């Protein structure tokens, strides 16, 4: 019998990596910046362009493009690849005869990711961090490593369905809040001397709170000024948001958004979809069905939102089908990207995207470092000074930079610096860094 203490688990060698996974990871990572850039450069503009950054002309066109193709889809695809990476890590470690050491390695790796996420949010000042929720739900994945893919898919779809049900309930609650709030507002206006009951005050308070998602010019100005302050003042001003994002949001939103796609990602890996081993017909069908359904749903949501001029209640109404449109658009993306990879066209671009994907953690953190330096007050102070469409010049510059430097870096080094640190900490042994 092999002694567990004599078994040494090792990171995946570059020659054993699955190239298609790296390419799709690279695409998803670059795509995530399309959505995150509004949070980096504008106040309260992520979901509602009328707050800041502009909502007409090219600014509106950019919002439409994001809402149709990228909102939630790049994040969902990246999450699926996290699930695929999990099963790849554990199956290869178990094939080395690791036994209990596999769990030891995996949970140590996840706990370090948890710490990275906390530091990313509080010290690198990105409240939209996904490393922390990935670690939280990654802690739950290990028992699923041997589950059949059909059960993983069912579990993921059940979680998504619960998330959709919550969106429907939220819309109904918002409609009730508005209806009751307007009644109390009118009553208060017509009977100024009459005191409101506790129930009426509560109804009015809920309506006032709901309306706060629409920001005033004074609130936008105040947010801009805070983000143009010094480093420690911004750390202080964002502390509450970071705390909220890494507590309430994790269990009210991310559980349906992230854990679901992790499980679906494991199923896709087990079905050999991400490895490019299915037929071109399969990927073409996946792309066609995914885009037809997903883009139709996304168009429905987009039209509702635009025609209402980004009304609070109508945006909530459009949100009821968010997970449905997002899921099918992601399937369309998977089919399209796999056909692109299997075709072998633009090989130089595929190689560059694979390099970006191999350094996903480094490049993700680099997005934050570059953006806070460019936008916040202790850097170049561009926060709130660009229109929405102008933010994408910054995105394009970062894309070009990472597509060029990532292959060059990997020519001389085995891993990105963040990946090297993560592996060294996970394996409790300094990993080789430079290529021989």
Helical residues (DSSP H) of 344-359, grouped into ranges: 347-358
User: φ and ψ at 147, to 5 degrees?
Assistant: -70, 150
The answer to whether 353 and 23 have CB atoms below 8 angstroms apart is yes
- DSSP codes joined into one string, 8-37: ---PPPGGGS-HHHHHHHHHHHHHHHHHHH
Residues 118/246, Cβ–Cβ less than 8 Å:
yes
Helix (H) or strand (E) holding 183: helix 149-190
Residue in 341, 359, 358 with CA at minimum distance from that of residue 350: 341
Do the Cβ atoms of 22 and 358 come closer than 8 Å?
yes
* Interval 271-283: pLDDT, tens: 999 999 999 999 9
- Residue 250, CA distances (Å) to 35, 100, 130, 279, 343 in order: 19, 29, 10, 37, 39
Q: Report the DSSP beta bridge partners of residue 434.
A: 413
- Are the C-beta atoms of residues 101 and 220 closer than 8 Å to each other? no
Helix, strand or coil, per DSSP, at residue 434: strand
Give the closest residue to 31 by CA, choosing from 388, 327, 367: 367
Beta-carbon contacts of residue 160 (< 8 Å; ≥ 6 apart): 256, 260, 323, 327
The dihedral sign for the CA sequence 167, 173, 179, 182 = negative
- pLDDT tens-digit map of 187-236: 888 877 678 888 888 998 999 999 988 999 999 999 999 999 999 999 99
Closest CA to 360 of 413, 419, 409, 400: 419
353 neighbors 318 (Cβ within 8 angstroms): no
Instruction: Report the distance separating Cα 227 and Cα 225, nearest Å.
Output: 5
Instruction: Single out the residue of 268, 275, 278, 271 nearest to residue 330, CA to CA.
Output: 268
Q: What are phi and psi of 129, to 5 degrees?
A: -55, 140
Give the integer Cα–Cα distance in Å for 197 and 166.
30
CA-to-CA distance for 254 and 257, rounded, in angstroms?
5
DSSP string of 219-251? HHHHHHHHHTS-HHHHHHHHHHHHHHHTTHHII
pLDDT for 188: 81
Measured CA to CA, the distance from residue 282 to residue 284 in angstroms comes to 5
Alpha-carbon distance 132 to 27, whole Å? 21
Cα dihedral 412, 405, 368, 350, rounded to 10, equals -100
Longest CA span, the chain: 86
CA torsion, points 317, 318, 322, 328, in degrees to nearest 10? 130
Check residue 14 and give its pLDDT.
57
433 burial type by CB count under 10 A (0-12 exposed, 13-18 middle, 19+ buried):
middle
Ranges under pLDDT 50 in the chain: 1-7
8 backbone dihedrals φ, ψ, rounded to 5°? -115, 115
């Amino acid at each position: 019998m092999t002694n567990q203490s004599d078994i040494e688990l090792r990171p995946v060698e570059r020659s054993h990596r699955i190239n298609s996974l790296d390419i799709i990871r690279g695409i998803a990572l670059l795509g995530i910046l399309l959505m995150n850039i509004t949070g980096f450069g504008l106040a309260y503009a992520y979901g509602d362009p009328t707050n800041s950054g502009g909502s007409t002309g090219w600014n509106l066109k950019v919002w439409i493009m994001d809402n149709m193709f990228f909102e939630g889809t790049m994040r969902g695809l990246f999450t699926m690849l996290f699930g695929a990476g999990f099963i790849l890590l554990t199956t290869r470690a178990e094939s080395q005869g690791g036994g209990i050491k596999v769990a030891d390695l995996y949970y140590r790796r996840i706990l370090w990711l948890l710490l990275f996420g906390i530091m990313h949010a509080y010290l690198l000042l990105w409240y939209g961090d996904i490393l922390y929720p990935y670690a939280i739900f990654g802690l739950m994945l290990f028992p699923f490593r041997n589950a059949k893919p059909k059960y993983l898919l069912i579990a993921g779809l059940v979680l998504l369905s619960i998330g959709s049900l919550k969106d429907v309930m939220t819309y109904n609650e918002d409609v009730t809040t508005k209806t009751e709030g307007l009644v109390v507002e009118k009553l208060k206006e017509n009977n100024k001397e009459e005191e409101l009951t506790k129930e009426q005050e509560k109804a009015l308070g809920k309506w006032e709170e709901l309306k706060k998602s629409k920001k005033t010019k004074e609130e936008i100005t105040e947010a801009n000024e805070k983000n143009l302050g010094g480093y420690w003042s911004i750390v202080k001003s964002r502390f509450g948001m970071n705390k909220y994002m890494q507590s309430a949001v994790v269990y009210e939103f991310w559980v349906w958004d992230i854990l679901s796609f992790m499980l679906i990602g494991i199923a896709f890996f087990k079905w050999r979809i991400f490895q490019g081993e299915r037929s071109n017909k399969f990927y073409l069908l996946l792309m066609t069905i995914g885009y037809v359904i997903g883009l139709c749903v996304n168009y429905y949501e987009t039209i509702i939102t635009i025609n209402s001029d980004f009304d609070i209640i109508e945006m909530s109404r459009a949100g009821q089908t968010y997970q449905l449109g997002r899921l099918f658009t992601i399937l369309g993306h998977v089919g399209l990207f796999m056909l692109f990879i299997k075709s072998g066209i633009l090989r130089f671009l595929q190689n560059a995207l694979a390099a970006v994907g191999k350094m996903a953690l480094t490049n993700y953190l680099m997005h934050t470092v570059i953006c806070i330096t460019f936008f916040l007050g202790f850097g170049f102070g561009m926060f709130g000074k660009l229109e929405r469409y102008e933010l994408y010049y910054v995105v394009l510059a970062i894309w070009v930079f990472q597509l060029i430097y990532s292959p060059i870096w990997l020519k001389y080094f085995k891993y990105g610096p963040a990946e090297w640190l993560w592996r060294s900490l996970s394996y409790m042994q300094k990993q080789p860094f430079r290529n021989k």
